[in-house]
């Protein structure tokens, strides 16, 4: 939905106020990062940044959020653009999901993101939703936040006390909780450039295309021949945060990718994942789906995919 | 654009003047910041061909084109659209851009109550402008965010498929 989204949002029927209209707020269109940060501070942090609005507008309409001020960041030029910077691809926060599909630099230097993009929502939502918004929201069922982990990406953050870069490994803290402090803005994400000796794979299991995944996974491996020098594997829709499966990674690093190693990695998932109780997808079923998906993706990696 | 002033916080429910080009006509209207674009189109501009269904991005009834791309007008505030070019189903009908799709939907009974149809047409229009010969699966994928409670989708996919083939054969249906 709509699955996650609706079950999360549709609980509006339980609310006394069933209006699907937002509470009144003021609106400010920022032209620069400084203006946006300043406005947030002066609203006493009772403010929200709005980028693509594809998650925030429904949350406002359902009154799950009711800030005093909305700060539109979509006209800030500094947050746009995709380009190479040293060993990294810098992806501006306002890069839209549809641009993750159409931008040649992403296909070449961050192909895992390119492969994940068609699975993010539906075409019209991809026309508005932004990469920075997706990472900031940190929905555990979302594709892009999990892929920043697999890619060992760094998140660039601007705030009242200056600018910093946080590794994806340190960014996702708990359910919808990240290293972002109130009033801080994601300005860009830095992804190490894809190299010739690397391979990637991505897939997800969902009831219907466009739905949030029951389980999803992406991986990036560095190979010498069939020997795995390094691999990072990240799952989504498996718990409160996007999750790296370090036990499975350890089962693979330094070995040849063969059926025995794949089985060992699948076996390690039980220690890596603790799927939440859920009526729709019981933990044992989610773990089973995760094993199936991991096997499939490692198989593709073995074929050089 | 000037910087932020404390006055911004005082006028939460005061209307703001926004200007767009809607269906090739310049319009200006007064909207509250919390007003969604779909409400603005339907209530202020009386363009009721854009439908409001779920109002949370799930059904696709409210699709319009913003600067040439399909967008959910329930997931956008009218103030965010200030300065944009907007095409609604009325405009695309008037300028004939989707006449062949409309004729084929009609011919194949790809609509019954018609509630979903404006959104279906806007999405189909975008798909065919990006992909000349989509497979049936690609058509279904493109419509994955559009609900139809009446037709069962088969006729909708047939209609889009037929128009795609007719367009690439160089003819118009
Ligand atoms: C029907 C539907 C289906 C969807 N399906 C999927 C799916 O399958 N997979 C998926 O990943 N997503 C899905 N989404 C969500 C979509 O991808 C959103 O676009 C995305 O999660 C948020 O991006 P946004 O730019 O729209 O952010 P917004 O909605 O504008 O903002 C979201 C939050 O992030 C904050 N924020 C935004 N940008 C920044 C920034 N640069 N710095 C700091 N904070 C920021 C906002 O303050 C807000 O709290 C779906 C949405 C809908 C409506
Ligand atoms: S009304 Fe906008 S998607 Fe349903
Ligand atoms: S024709 Fe009735 S919803 Fe599609």
Domain residue limits, chain A: 5-72, 77-192, 198-302
**Lowest mean pLDDT across A4-18, A204-218, B3-17, B48-62:** A4-18
CATH architecture of A77-192: 2-Layer Sandwich (3.30)
Atom number of ligand 1 nearest to Cα A2: 1
Q: Is the pLDDT assigned to residue A6 strictly greater than 80?
A: no
Centre of ligand 3 to C-alpha B165, Å, is 24
Confidence of residue B11 (pLDDT cuts 50, 70, 90): low
Hey, which residues 89-108 in chain A have their CB within 8 Å of chain B? 98
Fold of the domain spanning A198-302? Enolase-like; domain 1 (3.30.390)
- CB contacts of B55 in chain A (<8 Å) are 20, 58, 61
Smallest-distance ligand from the CA of B115: 3
Cα distances (angstroms) measured from residue B160 to each of A14, B55, B92: 40, 26, 16
Q: What band does B9 get if pLDDT is binned at 50, 70 and 90?
A: confident
Q: Tell me the whole-structure pTM to 2 decimals.
A: 0.94
Mean pLDDT over A146-166 rounds to 97
Confidence tier at A13 by pLDDT (50, 70, 90): very low
Task: Compute the distance from residue A53 Cα to the ligand 2 centre, in Å.
Answer: 14
Has residue A16 got a pLDDT over 80? no
- Each residue's pLDDT tens digit, A23-80: 999 999 999 999 999 999 999 889 999 999 999 999 999 999 999 999 999 999 999 9
Q: Return the residue of A nearest to B53 by Cα.
A: A20
Q: List domains and CATH numbers for chain B.
A: 4-92 (3.10.20.30), 98-168 (1.10.150.120)
pLDDT band at A9 (very low <50, low <70, confident <90, very high): very low
Domains A77-192 and A198-302 share a fold: no
In angstroms, the CA A215 to CA A210 distance is 13
Q: Give me the pLDDT at residue B6, please.
A: 74
pLDDT at A212: 87
Chain centroid to Cα A145, Å, comes to: 2
A22 interface with B at CB cutoff 8 Å: yes
B7 shares contact with chain A (CB less than 8 Å): no
- Residue B75 has its nearest CB partner, among A27, A57, A210, at A57
Which two tokens mark A248? 């499975």
| Range from A38-42, A276-280, B69-73, B111-115 carrying the lowest mean pLDDT | A276-280
Nearest CA to ligand 1 atom 17: A129
> What DSSP line would sit under A129-192, residue for residue?
-BHHHHHHHT-TT-HHHHHHHHTT-EEEEEETTEEEEEEHHHHEEETTEESPPTT-EEEEEEEE
- Rounded CA separation A260/B97 (Å): 57
The pLDDT assigned to A211 comes to: 83
**Angle ∠(A22,A23,A25) on CA atoms, nearest 5:** 105
- Quick one: which of A209, A74, A237, A176 has its CA closest to B71? A74
Q: What is the ipTM of this complex?
A: 0.94
CATH of A5-72, one of 3.30.390.30, 3.30.43.10, 2.60.40.10, 3.40.50.300: 3.30.43.10
DSSP state of B85: E
Residue A5 distance to chain B (closest CA, Å): 9
What confidence score (pLDDT) does residue B41 get? 98
Name the percent of chain A lying above pLDDT 70.
Answer: 93
Q: Calculate how close chain A gets to B145, using CA atoms only, in Å.
A: 6
pLDDT, mean over chain A: 93
Rounded CA-CA distance B157/A111 in Å is 31
Kindly state if the Cβ of A155 falls inside 6 Å of ligand 1: no
Contacts of B4 in chain A (CB under 8 A): 28, 30, 35, 38-39, 42
For position A11, what pLDDT does the model report? 42
pLDDT surpasses 60 at A21:
yes
Annotate A234-262 with b (16+ C-beta within 10 A) or e (fewer): bbbbbbebbbbbebbbebbbebebeeebb
Q: How far is CA A83 from the centre of its chain?
A: 20
Report the DSSP pairing between strands A162-167 and A215-224.
unpaired
| Ligand 2 centroid – CA A211 distance (Å) | 15
- Residue to probe by mutation, ligand 3, list B116, B118, B154, most atoms within 8 Å of CB: B116
Task: Tell me the pLDDT tens digit for each residue of A254-277.
Answer: 999 999 999 999 999 999 999 999
């Amino acid at each position: 939905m709509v699955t996650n989204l609706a079950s999360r949002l549709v609980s509006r029927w339980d609310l006394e106020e069933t209006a699907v209209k937002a509470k009144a707020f003021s609106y400010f269109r920022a032209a620069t990062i400084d203006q946006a940060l300043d406005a947030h501070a002066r609203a006493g942090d009772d403010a929200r940044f709005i980028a693509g609005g594809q998650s925030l507008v429904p949350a406002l309409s359902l009154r799950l959020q009711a800030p005093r001020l909305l700060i539109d960041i979509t006209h800030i030029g500094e947050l746009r653009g995709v380009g190479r910077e040293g060993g990294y691809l810098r992806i501006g926060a306002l890069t839209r999901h549809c641009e993750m599909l159409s931008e040649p630099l992403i296909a070449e230097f961050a192909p895992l993101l390119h492969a994940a993009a068609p699975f993010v929502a539906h075409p019209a939502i991809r026309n508005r939703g932004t990469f920075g918004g997706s990472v900031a929201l940190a929905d555990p069922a979302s594709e892009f936040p999990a892929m920043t982990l697999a890619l060992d990406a760094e998140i660039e953050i601007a705030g009242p006390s200056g600018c910093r870069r946080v590794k994806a490994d340190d960014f996702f803290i708990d359910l919808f909780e990240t290293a972002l402090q109130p009033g801080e803005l994601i300005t860009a994400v830095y992804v190490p450039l894809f190299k010739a000796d690397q391979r990637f794979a991505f897939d997800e299991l969902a009831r219907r295309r466009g739905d949030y995944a029951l389980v999803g996974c992406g991986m990036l491996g560095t190979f010498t021949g069939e020997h795995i020098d390094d691999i990072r594997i990240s799952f989504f829709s498996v718990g409160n945060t996007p999750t790296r499966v370090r036990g499975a990674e350890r089962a693979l690093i330094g070995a040849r990718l063969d059926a025995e190693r794949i089985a060992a990695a699948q076996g390690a998932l039980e220690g890596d994942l603790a799927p939440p109780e859920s009526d729709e997808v019981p933990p044992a079923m989610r773990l089973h789906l995760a094993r199936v998906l991991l096997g499939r993706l490692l198989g593709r990696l073995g074929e050089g995919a | 654009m000037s910087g932020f002033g404390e006055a911004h916080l005082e006028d939460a429910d005061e209307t703001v003047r926004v200007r767009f080009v809607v269906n090739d006509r310049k319009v200006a209207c007064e909207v509250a910041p919390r007003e969604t674009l779909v409400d603005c189109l339907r209530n202020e501009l009386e363009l009721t061909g854009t439908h409001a269904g779920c109002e949370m991005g799930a059904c696709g009834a409210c699709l319009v084109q913003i600067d040439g791309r399909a967008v959910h007008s329930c997931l956008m505030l009218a103030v965010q659209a200030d300065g944009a070019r907007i095409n609604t189903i009325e405009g695309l009908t008037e300028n004939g851009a989707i006449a062949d799709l409309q004729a084929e939907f009609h011919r194949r009974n790809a609509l019954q109550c018609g509630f979903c149809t404006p959104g279906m047409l806007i999405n189909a229009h975008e798909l065919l402008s990006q992909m000349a010969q989509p497979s049936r699966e690609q058509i279904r994928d493109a419509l994955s965010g559009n609900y139809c409670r009446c037709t069962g989708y088969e006729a909708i996919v047939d209609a889009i498929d037929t128009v795609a083939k007719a367009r690439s054969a160089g003819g118009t249906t």
